[in-house]
């Protein structure tokens, strides 16, 4: 339990920093909407997610903790940005790949199980290609930012197992579908409205990670 509180404390510090950056409009462009959300939820979600994931993964293996805590911290920021401006910055979807790759290589070495890295790479390539096809076929539904995020998530979750990737895809698309349906029913969106898909994808990663019971 102390592990959960420790990571939650780190998450609270990050949450305060995130909210400050978001309220400063750091990720905005001139053509983005003028109204800024309050982003108050970031102060709650960041420590909860980091504490929960950090504690759960530590019970599986401490070798894997750094990679998934980094993913948790990054995921909250990406969800906040995408929900605000419907954009996933390359610097937050591309640069973490080598960082997470290095952390997962270290974890594989610690567990003496190199098959995990190979499986992660295979899952990342397969899922990213699938998302790329969907983005090209229906650009109004998925953007290239979603493809890059899918690569990041499928690679990291693939290290845990194919079941984790399948769980993520199921819950990610389920969350996205339900959110789109809710917006349509409440008339806050139409069939032509672009709906950010990053937050549902990131939300789907949570049960995927927490559902892993053993390494």
CB 55 within 8 A of CB 4: yes
Instruction: Residue 6: count other Cβ atoms within 10 Å of its Cβ.
Output: 15
Q: Read off the pLDDT of each residue in 103-110 and give the average, rounded to a whole number.
A: 97
Tell me, what's the pLDDT at 190?
Answer: 62
Residue 168 resides in a domain: yes
Residue 215 resides in a domain: no
Q: Read off the pLDDT of each residue in 28-41 and give the average, rounded to a whole number.
A: 86
Parent domain of 65 = 2-210
Residue by residue, DSSP assigns 124-163 as HHHHHHHHHHHHHH-TTT--HHHHHHHHHHHHHHHTT-HH
Q: Read off the pLDDT of each residue in 78-95 and give the average, rounded to a whole number.
A: 93
Q: Read off the pLDDT of each residue in 207-213 and give the average, rounded to a whole number.
A: 94
Q: Does residue 139 register a pLDDT over 70? A: yes
Residue 28 resides in a domain: yes
pLDDT digits (tens, 9 = 90+) for 36-85: 899 999 999 999 999 999 999 999 999 999 999 999 999 999 999 999 99
Q: Which residues contact 160 (CB under 8 A, 6 or more apart)?
A: 64, 208, 209, 212, 215
Tell me, what's the pLDDT at 193?
Answer: 63
Distance of CA 55 to the CA centre of its chain: 18
pLDDT digits (tens, 9 = 90+) for 10-23: 999 999 999 999 99
Q: Mean pLDDT lowest for which of 42-46, 73-77, 178-182, 187-191?
A: 187-191
CB 121 within 8 A of CB 87: no
Q: Does residue 91 register a pLDDT over 80? A: yes
Tell me, what's the pLDDT at 29?
Answer: 85
Burial 181-195 (b: 16+ CB within 10 A, else e): eeeeeeeebeeeeeb
CB 210 within 8 A of CB 53: yes
Residue 199 resides in a domain: yes
Q: Read off the pLDDT of each residue in 118-123 and give the average, rounded to a whole number.
A: 97
Q: Where are the alpha helices (DSSP H) in 24-114?
A: 41-60, 65-85, 90-93, 96-111
Q: Who wins on pLDDT, 214 or 127?
A: 127
Q: Which residues contact 167 (CB under 8 A, 6 or more apart)?
A: 204, 207, 208, 211
Residue 12 resides in a domain: yes
Tell me, what's the pLDDT at 74?
Answer: 97
Sign of CA dihedral 150, 156, 157, 158: positive
Q: Read off the pLDDT of each residue in 144-173 and give the average, rounded to a whole number.
A: 96
Residue 177 resides in a domain: yes
% of the chain with per-residue pLDDT over 70: 97
Count the domains in the chain. Answer: 1
Tell me, what's the pLDDT at 31?
Answer: 82
Residue 85 resides in a domain: yes
Residue 130 resides in a domain: yes
């Amino acid at each position: 339990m102390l592990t959960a509180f420790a990571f939650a404390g780190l998450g609270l510090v990050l949450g305060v920093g995130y909210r400050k950056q978001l309220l400063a409009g750091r990720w905005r462009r001139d053509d983005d909407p003028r109204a800024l959300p309050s982003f108050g939820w970031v102060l709650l979600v960041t420590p909860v997610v980091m504490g929960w994931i950090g504690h759960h993964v530590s019970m599986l293996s401490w070798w894997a903790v750094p990679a998934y805590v980094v993913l948790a911290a990054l995921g909250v920021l990406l969800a906040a940005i995408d929900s605000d401006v419907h954009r996933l910055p390359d610097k937050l979807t591309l640069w973490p790949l080598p960082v997470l790759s290095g952390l997962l290589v270290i974890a594989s070495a610690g567990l003496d199980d190199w098959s995990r890295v190979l499986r992660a790479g295979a899952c990342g390539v397969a899922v990213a290609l699938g998302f790329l096809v969907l983005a090209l076929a229906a650009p109004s539904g998925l953007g290239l930012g979603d493809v890059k995020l899918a690569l990041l998530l499928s690679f990291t979750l693939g290290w845990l197992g194919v079941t984790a990737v399948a769980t993520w895809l199921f819950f990610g698309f389920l969350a996205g579908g339900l959110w789109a349906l809710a917006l349509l029913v409440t008339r806050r969106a139409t069939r032509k409205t672009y709906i950010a898909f990053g937050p549902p994808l990131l939300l789907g990663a949570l049960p995927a990670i927490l559902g892993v019971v053993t390494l």
